[in-house]
Structure formats: structure tokens, C-alpha cells
Structure 1
Amino acid sequence: MRCPRCGRSRLVAHPELDRLAVAHVDCDAFYCSVEKRDRPELADRPVIVGGGSRGVVSSACYIARMRGVRSAMPMFTALAACPDAVVIRPDFASYARVARSLRAMMEALTPLVQPLSIDEAVLDLSGTEALHRAPPAVMLARLAARVEAEERITVSIGLSSNRLLAKLAAGIDKPRGFAVLGSEAPHWLAARGVRTLPGIGPAQERALVARGFTTLGQLQALGPREAQSRLGPDGPALVLRARGIDTRRIDPARETKSVSAETTFDRDLRTLPALEAELWRLCERLGARLRDKDLAAGGVVLKLKTAAFRSRTRTQRLHAPTRLPDTLFATARKLLAREIDGTEFRLIGIGAAPIRPGAEADRADLSDPALPRRVATQQAIDALRLRFGAAAVGRGRGLGDTGTGGARTGDVKTEPR
């Protein structure tokens, strides 16, 4: 069957199609899709984007997923499941450029766009039909077609009456899907397992099963008092979600609570010079992410994970908000130096918290007369990298042997870009 208007074979039919306006847009295997777009020879190959042999999977293409590879899976487990996979180190600058393009396309449809991550967002198209002279469903279909034409990647779209149901709908027909959940949503949910609800992980699932709840229909049957007595203070809210009820608004100004970057080493590190080299690269990455989001760091969070998988977290407020990598590094280095006691570390991370508006970053300060020059230098570096690529220019601190004795996270089994 083909559409009588456009001739395409992909049809979406629903009795409430013209009345629903909340959409969840989710890119399909985003990082891998961008890599395959830029490297057509990988189109039919299993591709994994992520860390080194001791890192984790950031993204797996659908071919790799058919072999059992999943996001956040340890890399050695992923390669055991899919030994012929092409592993590519993440190119976050490239992904960010595509994400900015997609966000601009969404904002052309409605100002009510709330990004949830680099590759997904929720939109409210209520009241836009008069502007676009087409209902939200039509504009979303056009959005999906535009993304494919201009960025050469695909998205899956869920359309419903609220955020929860739109997210669930977006996962029904991936990849390249368009699904709708309307008034039939409670019935659709009732037969599904409790793990279907976003936010319910293995531990909560086990707790619910232990209390006799295996399906969402069983939760739907509870009244408020029974829900609280059997499930605790959060029980009534869980029952509402099981019924598909979600009152959260779409807020384009939703505050970003943290921005961070981390890396897992291929070999444990314990000396300050080796760890400093990795910390500097992360500070550069963190600074770039803050500048890209027009945010600033009001403080620094250092994260370390020992060879025994014990975590250490250290924090330090900054004298003034910044997004300069050298300022972030100066503070983080002091925190790192206090942890050098012979312990071997397998992971290091750096984060910004609290988050401040970008307008507050790196203001002129009499106590730091060189600050304007350092800001100008970073702006020049950013301009050169934007024009010639991330590797076009770097600081001396980022050069030389890292001391890792091997590739850093994401470099194992990587083919040339």
C-alpha cells in the first residue's frame, strides 16, 4: 500500500494522528551513523564507537547489536561477541556539529524543544498547525525526511500526548521509525513488563517482582493508598506512569546540571605525569563542551577509579566561572596530586559543577591580568580547529608520550579515519 499523495510505501495511520502534538525524536545509533556516513566503506560492517580494550561501548550500529553488542557494555565483552567489529574512537566534535544542525531543524518547527542528550530531544508542537499549515504529524515526517536528506542519518519519532508516551512510542519501530500512542496507551502498557517504563532498572524490577508485580497492568490496578502501602512513598507516582500519565512540561530552558568527560586507560596508571597528560586532554574536551553549550564551570569535580574498581571523587569551587582548559587543569591538577599515593588507577574523569551561564565565564579580573590574552588565545585555537579539524593545532602540554604504555581509550582496533 502506498500513500496516494507522495507515493511512498511508509504509512502511519492512527485515529488521533491529527490531534497529538508531543514528539520524542531519537537518532538511530547516532555516533555509528555519523561514522558510517563519513566512511561509506563501513556501511555493511559492524561498527562500535567507544573506548579501548578496558573501556566501554559508547554506540553500536544495528549490525553489531544483532550480535549482542549494547551501549555501556565493556569493550572486551563486545569484541568477544562481535570480533570482526570495526572500533572507532569517538569524534565528539563531529557529533556535536550534527547535533547542532538537527536542533536547528527542530527549532524551525517549534520553540518548545528540550534536548535530553546529544542525540535526542522532546518537542511540543501544540498550536503550530496554523503556522505550518499542516498538523504536527506531517511536520515531523518532513523533519525525518530533511534529516535524511541533509545529514544522511536517520531518526525515530514517537508522537503522543505527553513526554513519557512519546518516548515509549519512539522505541517501538526503531530504526527509522514513526510510531503513535494515543488513548489506547493504557491498554498497550498493561500487558508489558514493569521494565518497560523508563527509569526502572534491574534492581527496581527485582523489587517489584518480589512484591508480585510483573506487568504494568498489575500496577495500573492499584489505588493511591494501596500503592503507597505496598510500594512506598513513590508508589502512587509509579502507578500513574504505569497508566501512561505524565504531567511534565517541555522546558527549553531546562538547566544542565553537569558537563563532564572521562577516559579509561588500557593499562593502569599511578604516576602524576602520566595522569596529568590524560587530565589535560580531558580538560580540553570539557572546556570545548562548555563553550559549545555556552556554559561555564563554577567548580571542578575530579573522578578517579582504582584498579580495584573503587571510586574517588574530589571537588573544588573556582574563584570565578571559567571554560578555559588551562584554568580547569590548574585546579584539577591540585586535586589529582593529593591522590598520588602509589595507587593504580584505571579511569580518570573531570566534570564541571555547579554549572554557570556562559556569560559569566572568564570575565576580566585585576587579580589575573593575563586572562584576556588567554581567552583570545583559546578563541584563536577554536577557530583554527573549526576550520581545519580538531588535530590542526594544540598546546605543548598535550604533546608527547602519555606514559600509558599503549593506546588511550578508544584507540584499540581503530581503522584510519
Structure 2
Amino acid sequence: MTQGDTVGAALPGLCLDCASDPGAGARCRSCGSPRLVRHAELNELSVAHLDCDAFYAAIEKRDDPSLADRPLIIGGGRRGVVSTACYIARIRGVRSAMPMFQAMKLCPDAVVLPPDMRKYAEVGRQIRAMMLELTPLVEPLSIDEAFMDLSGTQSLHRAPPARTLARLILRLDREVGISASIGLAPNKFLAKMASDLDKPRGFSVVGRAEARSFLAARPVSAIWGVGPSLHNRLLADGLRTIADLQRADRGDLARRYGANGLAPR
């Protein structure tokens, strides 16, 4: 279950706008927010992936409020590519790594700014320092995303990891002026997939109980380490979804793909 779910109100819950226990209703009993997350394993999971929302664009909008309601693209000239785009531009179809000429056809009224990597790196360091205040187990993936393992931190923070993470997101908004999304799961693979489910300002949980079914419908390309070459091999062998791999014989997978075919499923 993810942000905003209200089914199963008896399940452990968290308000994303005040990081408190929301009670059993559809709105938080403390602040009235409908932005709630409920999950049976909410207070048991401790591995998270934090991913800032449209990071470069968010920083530029923070620093120039006149850009708040305008489509914004960070990238090079007409022959360059899109580094990132705000969510207004994304609604129009603009995506990272898209050629700029194509992005401008989709969103001709967009404001285009060159990336300011020095500024972005400074904000990235600020966010990283906040993460390290919560746990030493921070594994950066890029300037604006990282894994965090909050195992064993409940006594220190007097809260389960989910609530500690919600407080961190509120702090990022208040002190840094940007938003981020969280994926919470039993392992890094699931946490990274979860963080992308409900962007922006998402907080998605994938527990152990539903991990197999959650993965089943996803394409094999979603698996870490499956690049274009292996992806084409899998497709040629009729393996299009993770469910296809789950049903396949492990011995056959090992013969075809070596050690990769023996990876846990």
C-alpha cells in the first residue's frame, strides 16, 4: 500500500504531513491531512531509497519563485539534451536525456536553464549530511538519491524507521526547500522500485508479504544488471516479465545465463 491508501484503517499508519500516527480515519487526527500511508509492515521495515523530485529543477524554482508555475527544463542548447525537467514539463512529455529540440517541440513555452552543478552539489551535500545524522549506513547512488538502512535506530530516534524518514522529508522541505520521495522495503532492490511509484512527494511501501506479486508484472528490464544485451536475450527466450522468471526452472536459467540465472527470486 502506498501514500493516500485508506483501506484497512486498522493497519499501522503514518501521516506524511506531520509524521504522526494518523489514527483510524481517512484524515490525520492531528493535522487533518489526507496524505496517509498504511501498511501491515510499516513499522518493521528499515531499508529505504530516498530520491529527490526533479532535483535540479526544484532547486532553480526554489531560488527563483517566478518559475514556480512555469514549465522548466534544465539542459543544454538546442543540440544538447535534457538534464531534468520539472513535473509541469513532464506532463507535456519532456523526459531526462531527451534531445532539446524534441523537448522544445513538446513544450515550446518552457524556460530553459543551463545546469549549475556547483550549486546542485552543495545542496546534495546538505541532504547527505541530514541522512548521516539518522544512520551511518547511507549509500549514495547519485547527487540526489541514496539508500539508507535504519536498522537498529528505533531507540536512538524514538520512532520506527518509517516515521524517522517522514520527519526527514518534512525537514528537507522546510530547511532545503525541495521535496523527495521515499521507497521503504525489506531490501534495496525493492526500495528503489518503490520510491518511483508515487512521485512527487511519494512514500511507498513494499513489504515482504507482497514482494513476489509486486514484482511479477514488471518487465525483466527492471532488474538491476539487466542491460540491453541481456534484455534482448531474455526477450528472445520468451522471458518478458519477472513472473516469467519466477515460473522458469532454475536449472534451465542457470544453463542459459550462468550465475545470473541462479539469482534469488
TM-score normalised over the length of structure 1: 0.55
Q: 1:104 aligns with which of 129, 133, 137?
A: 129
Q: Distance in 1 between matches of 2:63 and 2:73?
A: 15
Partner of 1:42: 67
Partner of 1:190: 216
Q: Distance in 1 between matches of 2:227 and 2:253?
A: 19
Partner of 1:8: 33
Q: Distance in 2 between matches of 1:59 and 1:109?
A: 28
Where 1:102 maps in the other structure, the secondary structure is: helix
Q: Distance in 1 between matches of 2:138 and 2:42?
A: 20
TM-superposed CA distance for 1:147, in Å, is 0.4
Q: 2:159 aligns with which of 131, 134, 142?
A: 134
Cα 1:82–1:204, aligned 2, differ >3 Å: closer, same or farther?
farther
Q: Distance in 2 between matches of 1:207 and 1:62?
A: 35
Partner of 1:86: 111
Q: 2:183 aligns with which of 145, 148, 158?
A: 158
Letter in 1 for 2:74: V
Q: Distance in 1 between matches of 2:116 and 2:229?
A: 33
Partner of 2:255: 229
Q: 1:216 aligns with which of 242, 245, 250?
A: 242
Where 1:25 maps in the other structure, the secondary structure is: strand
TM-superposed CA distance for 1:68, in Å, is 1.6
Q: 1:23 aligns with which of 39, 45, 48?
A: 48
Where 2:74 maps in the other structure, the secondary structure is: strand
1:58 equivalent to 2:83? Answer: yes
Q: Distance in 2 between matches of 1:169 and 1:13?
A: 14
Where 1:108 maps in the other structure, the secondary structure is: helix
TM-superposed CA distance for 1:209, in Å, is 1.7
For 1:233-382, what aligned pairs fall within 5 Å after superposition? 233-237=259-263, 240=264, 243=265
Partner of 2:148: 123
Letter in 2 for 1:126: S
Where 2:172 maps in the other structure, the secondary structure is: helix
TM-superposed CA distance for 1:125, in Å, is 0.3
Letter in 1 for 2:251: R
Q: Distance in 2 between matches of 1:146 and 1:114?
A: 20
Q: Distance in 2 between matches of 1:201 and 1:30?
A: 25
TM-superposed CA distance for 1:163, in Å, is 0.6
Q: Distance in 1 between matches of 2:49 and 2:31?
A: 24
TM-superposed CA distance for 1:203, in Å, is 4.6
TM-superposed CA distance for 1:112, in Å, is 0.8
TM-superposed CA distance for 1:32, in Å, is 0.4
| Deviation string, structure 1 residues 175-231 (Cα, Å, up to 9, x no partner) | 100000112111111122223334434554333221111111110123431112233
Cα 1:79–1:201, aligned 2, differ >3 Å: closer, same or farther?
farther
Q: State the aligned residue count.
A: 239
For 1:394-405, what aligned pairs fall within 5 Å after superposition? none
TM-superposed CA distance for 1:105, in Å, is 1.1
| Deviation string, structure 1 residues 154-181 (Cα, Å, up to 9, x no partner) | 0000001111011011011111000001
* Identity across the alignment (%): 59
TM-superposed CA distance for 1:8, in Å, is 2.3
Letter in 2 for 1:36: K
Q: Distance in 1 between matches of 2:261 and 2:77?
A: 41
Where 1:179 maps in the other structure, the secondary structure is: strand
Indicate the RMSD between aligned Cα atoms, in angstroms: 1.5
TM-superposed CA distance for 1:145, in Å, is 0.5
1:172 equivalent to 2:194? Answer: no
Q: Distance in 1 between matches of 2:53 and 2:200?
A: 6
Letter in 1 for 2:105: A
Letter in 2 for 1:29: A
| Deviation string, structure 1 residues 218-246 (Cα, Å, up to 9, x no partner) | 10123431112233442222xx2xx3xxx
Worse overlay, 180-189 or 214-223: 214-223
Where 2:197 maps in the other structure, the secondary structure is: coil
1:71 equivalent to 2:96? Answer: yes
Q: Distance in 2 between matches of 1:80 and 1:205?
A: 31
Q: Distance in 1 between matches of 2:229 and 2:200?
A: 28
